[in-house]
Amino acid sequence: MTSVLSSARIARFFQTYAVLIMIALLIFALSLMSDSFLTFRNLQNILNQNAPLAIMASAMTLVIIGGGFDLSVGSIFAVAGVSAAWIALNVDPVLGLAIAPFIGLALGTMNGVVITTLNIHSFLATIATSMVFKGVAILITDGRLIPVRIAEFTWLGRDKIGGIFIAVIVMIAFALILTFALNRTAFGRKVFSVGGNEEAAVLSGVRTDRIKIATFAIAGMAAGLAAAISVSRISMGQPGAGIGMELQAIAAVILGGTSIYGGSGAVWRSIAGVLLLALINNGFNILNADPFYRDLTTGLIILAAVGISASGQRR
Amino acid sequence: MAADRDPDRGEPCIRLRGIGKSFGGVSVLADIDLDIGTGEIHGLVGENGAGKSTLGKIIGGYYSAGAGSIEVFAEQVGTWTPPLALERGIAMMHQELQLVPALSVAQNVFLGIEEERYGVLKQTENARLADVMAASGFELDPAAITSDLSIADQQKIEIMRALAREARVIVMDEPTSSLTADEAERLHETMLRLKQKGTTIIYVSHFLDDILRVCDRVTVLRDGVLVRTADAADETKGSLVSAMLGGTRSETPYPQKAPSEFAGKQPALWVSGLSAPSGVSDVSLEVRPGEIVGLIGLVGSGRTEIVRAIFGADGASGGEVRLNGIPYSRRTPAGSAERGMVMVPEDRRKQGLVMTLPVRANMTLPHLRHYTMAGGIIRAALERTRVKSLIDYFRIVPDRIDGDVTHYSGGNQQKVLLGKWLLRDPGVVILDEPSRGVDVGARQRIHEAIADLAAKGAGVLLISSEIEEVLGLAHRAYLVHEGGLVGEVDPDNATTQDVLWTLFHQDDPNTETARGSAP
């Protein structure tokens, strides 16, 4: 009887912490294979490079817990990025950085309003708005790149405070704030309830439309913040930036173990998902492995992770 | 004793010996010896968690027995799964029907046993269906789409599906839990007809009156143990209840009604001329503080639609609603909750609870603004204390504040759902089927809670498909037919039979003149 209990408990443990176990195994393997892997410098670089994606994945977690999908964050990233560069060049560099999250917030709110007023699935709505936003980014720049080589602009993506990249600090702070909002506030509870059982939430007096709009607004804002960091780092506004980032963000959320059916999940899981994807990449670089195998390997790992979590949902 | 074969009945079609079952180390059935006679209707009764559904599912192959042996038509069975059970002639009808809503009657009946040639369907379905209908005595349009049919008709499809597979034994798990009295009655007639044609039925139900009326023999289970099997003729409701509960406790059906002195009080809920596109027409009613008012009607009569329009879950097209004399137009669930009017919906899994959230978060969901400080931060300690007190009040098992509601029994889920709405004292409470599909103990506790609510001054609007329940609890009751109110009854001076008679004769032109008047 106890053995039945404990084996069920072990299975549950593996399901809950699958992503962490995989990260631990990868770190162990990579540190055996290369001396340069397990260094503070390399690890911080990995975090720093992936800070924009981690910020977007954190916010995507809220959208997915709330029962939605946002396929437009890559395009929001592009609009916010080129706007930041244009304003930095033509108005003020700091204003350019500061305004990017607000542009993202506005576009994300638009997504939310479209989804709730037209009452269409977020998947469809954001495919459409994603194209609209992509078009806007090209119109802003006339299809050209906008280089911004000013120190007042590049600090966010490149500088450190006390030996830590500012981007990493921003990413950690953002993830902590979202974690707090999700687990300790009324708003977070309502996000879980909307994704878990929308009808019950409505009948409980939750204004579900407002909650959905809020999750998309936050996802938009995160894309804007990520764009500010990214544009600042490469000192260049590109209308084609951010393509595919929405899928990477969703992959990271799912890899972390947040349910795609909504109603359950956690921000730390998505950060862990981003790290896992990043470590696979880093491993290919360190080992000088054939990059042609990179996508194939990443895809197989995502399949494995989704398979593990799906096996836990069958009762 | 249960194992002894009754010489009056044929060979047992199913012979269970020493059946045991445990889930996650917890024993739910132990050492069950039971013979099901060929051609009998055999009732399985017991409280929720007593193991009656589990036993039914073991017979149907949905669960494997942890211990013991199963003999079917005098043959020992080994591995036992639903398809294997079906091969030997045992079909199972679930509480939640297993039909494909978008398919037609004929397609559902023959799902998986379609006749085909080289993968192309033969056009023989209607002819085959006619045979099955003749055998069952049902008449349904073969081309009708399943989701357009009533639950009673959908059950017929499920039964025909079993017959089409030549099932000789049908296990029915709580088939009447979502039916009204008349639909249940029709199912019972069907069961008796099937019995005449030689089909054996294992009937799992909470409704003891039904069991006593339809079954030949009854088996009582308590805490996973078989208490006794006896001829239904030798049992009474009281003897079954005391066997189920273990003590000699006699049934104490309904709590004492508070004295009804409502004249002159301002109604807590006042509705005039309410109409809605969902089929509600010209409903006027009132509920005074402390009063329990019932809505009685057959399924499909529009009871739920009326309360949803009052609550604001559906839009209304006309009429007026006042709460404590204050007009309330443009109703929404959120607005109603803010004004102290709450609704406990009929389907706890689909509309009531958020299954992915623990007990605590479910209970406080409608009241979060009373449990937060600046910035919307939840006051967890306050929340825990309040939730714990409700868990104690309702005697919810397990008594864990953060328990996972998915794993709770129906009765305890229902208590969580009620607790969610009673967390703050509401002024008007709408209860839609508050005790559907729960066991005797939980039911009694829920009835006490409803009486308590009224005693504390809430106005209660109660819907139940069990007319007896409404008569037992309510001070007054309205009769509902086709989305409108067609009369009022005094529960203290009416019987279930009176009420049913009135409701059944609503469509009868001879009683047209009686419409609108109390029976």
| A290 within domain boundaries | yes
* Structure-block tokens of residue B266: 């301002």
| A297 within domain boundaries | yes
Whether A314 has its CB under 8 Å from any CB of chain B: the answer is: no
Provide the CA B511 distance to its chain's centre, in angstroms.
Answer: 31
Picking from A192, A200, A202, the nearest residue to B353 by CB comes out as: A200
Q: Do A185 and B357 touch (CB under 8 A)?
A: no
Using CA of residue A284, residue A285, residue A286, residue A290, what is the dihedral sign? positive
Residue for token digits 């669930």?
B333
Whether A4 has its CB under 8 Å from any CB of chain B: the answer is: yes
Q: Do A205 and B338 touch (CB under 8 A)?
A: yes
Contacts of A189 in chain B (CB under 8 A): 357, 361, 364-365, 368, 378
Residue type, B38: T
Contacts of A263 in chain B (CB under 8 A): 354-357
Whether A203 has its CB under 8 Å from any CB of chain B: the answer is: yes
CA angle, B331 as apex, A195 and B180 as ends, to 5°? 75
Q: Helix A122-141 crosses helix A93-118 at what angle (to 10 degrees)?
A: 150
8-state DSSP, B401: T
Q: Which value, to the nearest 10 degrees, does the dihedral of the CA atoms of residues A80, A82, A85, A91 take?
A: -80
Query: For residue B314, what is the nearest residue in chain A, using CA coordinates?
Result: A203
* Structure-block tokens of residue A203: 């009948």
Q: Do A186 and B356 touch (CB under 8 A)?
A: no
Tell me, yes or no, if the two domains B12-245 and B269-353+409-514 fold the same way.
yes
Most A CBs within 10 A among B307, B357, B363, B429, hence the mutation to make, goes to B357
Q: What is the pLDDT of residue A314?
A: 43
Q: Which domain holds residue A215?
A: 20-26+34-309
Picking from A186, A200, A205, the nearest residue to B351 by CB comes out as: A200
Q: Digits of tens for pLDDT over chain B (519 positions)?
A: 344 444 445 678 999 999 998 775 567 888 999 999 999 999 999 876 688 888 999 999 888 888 889 999 888 888 888 888 888 889 988 777 788 889 999 989 888 888 877 777 777 888 888 888 887 777 889 889 998 888 778 888 888 888 888 889 999 988 877 677 777 887 888 889 888 888 899 999 878 888 999 999 999 998 888 999 999 999 988 888 778 776 544 345 678 776 767 767 889 999 999 999 988 999 999 999 999 999 998 767 889 999 999 999 999 999 999 999 999 999 999 999 999 999 999 888 889 999 999 999 999 999 998 999 988 999 999 999 999 999 999 999 888 999 889 888 888 899 999 999 888 889 999 999 998 877 778 888 999 999 999 988 999 999 987 788 898 999 999 999 889 999 999 988 887 777 877 776 665 444 443 333 333
| A12 within domain boundaries | no
Q: Give the Cα separation of A180 and A171 in Å (integer).
A: 14
Q: Give the Cα separation of B152 and A130 in Å (integer).
A: 47
CATH number reported for the structural domain that contains residue A198 in this entry: 1.10.3470
Cβ-contact B47, B217 below 8 angstroms: no
Q: Give the Cα separation of A308 and B59 in Å (integer).
A: 32
Q: Where are the domains of chain B?
A: 12-245, 269-353+409-514
- Identify the CATH homologous superfamily for domain B269-353+409-514: P-loop containing nucleotide triphosphate hydrolases (3.40.50.300)
Length of chain A: 315
CA angle, B306 as apex, B301 and B310 as ends, to 5°? 175
Query: For residue A7, what is the nearest residue in chain B, using CA coordinates?
Result: B24
Q: Give the Cα separation of A79 and A85 in Å (integer).
A: 10
* Structure-block tokens of residue A98: 């500061």
Q: Give the Cα separation of A214 and A220 in Å (integer).
A: 10
| A70 within domain boundaries | yes
Q: What is the pLDDT of residue B260?
A: 65
Q: What is the pLDDT of residue B270?
A: 95
Contacts of B336 in chain A (CB under 8 A): 205
Whether A186 has its CB under 8 Å from any CB of chain B: the answer is: yes
pTM score of the predicted model: 0.78
Cβ-contact A257, A232 below 8 angstroms: no
Q: Do A189 and B361 touch (CB under 8 A)?
A: yes
Query: For residue B338, what is the nearest residue in chain A, using CA coordinates?
Result: A205
Nearest-Å Rg of the Cα atoms of chain A is 20
Name residue B226's beta-bridge partners. Answer: B221
Picking from A186, A262, A264, the nearest residue to B378 by CB comes out as: A186
8-state DSSP, B368: G
pLDDT digit string, tens, across residues B22-75: 775 567 888 999 999 999 999 999 876 688 888 999 999 888 888 889 999 888
Q: What is the pLDDT of residue A69?
A: 95
Contacts of B375 in chain A (CB under 8 A): 185
Contacts of A184 in chain B (CB under 8 A): 377-378, 380
How many angstroms separate the CA of residue A275 from the nearest CA in chain B?
27
First-residue to last-residue Cα distance in chain B? 49
Cβ-contact B441, B449 below 8 angstroms: no
Whether A2 has its CB under 8 Å from any CB of chain B: the answer is: yes
pLDDT digit string, tens, across residues B433-485: 998 877 778 888 999 999 999 988 999 999 987 788 898 999 999 999 889 99
| A217 within domain boundaries | yes
Whether A69 has its CB under 8 Å from any CB of chain B: the answer is: no
Q: What is the pLDDT of residue B250?
A: 39
Picking from B25, B336, B376, the nearest residue to A187 by CB comes out as: B376
First-residue to last-residue Cα distance in chain A? 20
Residue type, A32: L
Q: Give the Cα separation of B2 and B221 in Å (integer).
A: 12
8-state DSSP, B145: B
Q: How many structural domains compose chain A?
A: 1
Q: Give the Cα separation of B320 and A158 in Å (integer).
A: 64
Q: If residue B165 lies in a helix (H) or strand (E), which one and from where to where?
A: none
Taking one residue from A and the other from B, the number of pairs with CB-CB distance under 8 angstroms is 92
Provide the CA B101 distance to its chain's centre, in angstroms.
Answer: 20
Q: Digits of tens for pLDDT over chain A (315 positions)?
A: 444 556 667 777 777 888 898 899 989 999 998 888 889 999 999 999 999 999 999 999 999 999 999 999 999 999 999 999 999 999 999 999 999 999 999 999 999 999 999 999 999 999 999 999 999 999 999 989 999 999 999 999 999 999 999 999 999 999 999 999 999 999 999 999 999 999 999 999 999 999 999 999 999 999 999 999 999 999 999 999 998 999 999 999 999 989 888 999 999 999 999 999 999 988 888 888 888 888 888 888 888 877 776 665 543
What would the CATH number be for the domain defined by B12-245? 3.40.50.300
Most A CBs within 10 A among B62, B368, B384, hence the mutation to make, goes to B368
Q: Do A197 and B338 touch (CB under 8 A)?
A: no
Phi, psi of A263 (to 5 degrees): 90, -15
Q: Do A263 and B354 touch (CB under 8 A)?
A: yes
Q: What is the pLDDT of residue A312?
A: 58
Name residue B342's beta-bridge partners. Answer: B429
* Structure-block tokens of residue B459: 């106005």
Query: For residue B418, what is the nearest residue in chain A, using CA coordinates?
Result: A204
How many angstroms separate the CA of residue A62 from the nearest CA in chain B?
15
Q: Do B378 and A206 touch (CB under 8 A)?
A: no
Q: Do A197 and B354 touch (CB under 8 A)?
A: yes
Cβ-contact A235, A148 below 8 angstroms: yes
Most B CBs within 10 A among A64, A183, A184, A204, hence the mutation to make, goes to A204
Helix then strand count (H, E) for chain B reads 16, 24
Contacts of A204 in chain B (CB under 8 A): 333, 337, 365-366, 420
Contacts of A195 in chain B (CB under 8 A): 356
Whether A287 has its CB under 8 Å from any CB of chain B: the answer is: no
At B236 the three-state DSSP class reads coil
Q: Give the Cα separation of B419 and B364 in Å (integer).
A: 9
Contacts of A200 in chain B (CB under 8 A): 345, 350-354, 365
Assign 3-class secondary structure to chain A.
CHHHHHHHHHHHHHHHHHHHHHHHHHHHHHHHHCCCCCCHHHHHHHHHHHHHHHHHHHHHHHHHHCCCCCCCHHHHHHHHHHHHHHHHHHCCHHHHHHHHHHHHHHHHHHHHHHHHHHCCCHHHHHHHHHHHHHHHHHHHHCCCCEECCCHHHHHHHHCEECCEEHHHHHHHHHHHHHHHHHHHEHHHHHHHHHHHCHHHHHHCCCCHHHHHHHHHHHHHHHHHHHHHHHHHHHCEECCCCCCCHHHHHHHHHHHHCCCCCCCCCCHHHHHHHHHHHHHHHHHHHHCCCCHHHHHHHHHHHHHHHHHHHHHHHCC
Contacts of A207 in chain B (CB under 8 A): 334
Q: Do B372 and A1 touch (CB under 8 A)?
A: no
Q: Give the Cα separation of B12 and B7 in Å (integer).
A: 10
Query: For residue A190, what is the nearest residue in chain B, using CA coordinates?
Result: B365
Q: Do A193 and B353 touch (CB under 8 A)?
A: no
Q: Do A204 and B337 touch (CB under 8 A)?
A: yes
Picking from A4, A196, A203, the nearest residue to B333 by CB comes out as: A203
| A254 within domain boundaries | yes
Picking from B22, B345, B377, the nearest residue to A203 by CB comes out as: B345
Cβ-contact B202, B44 below 8 angstroms: yes
At B466 the three-state DSSP class reads coil
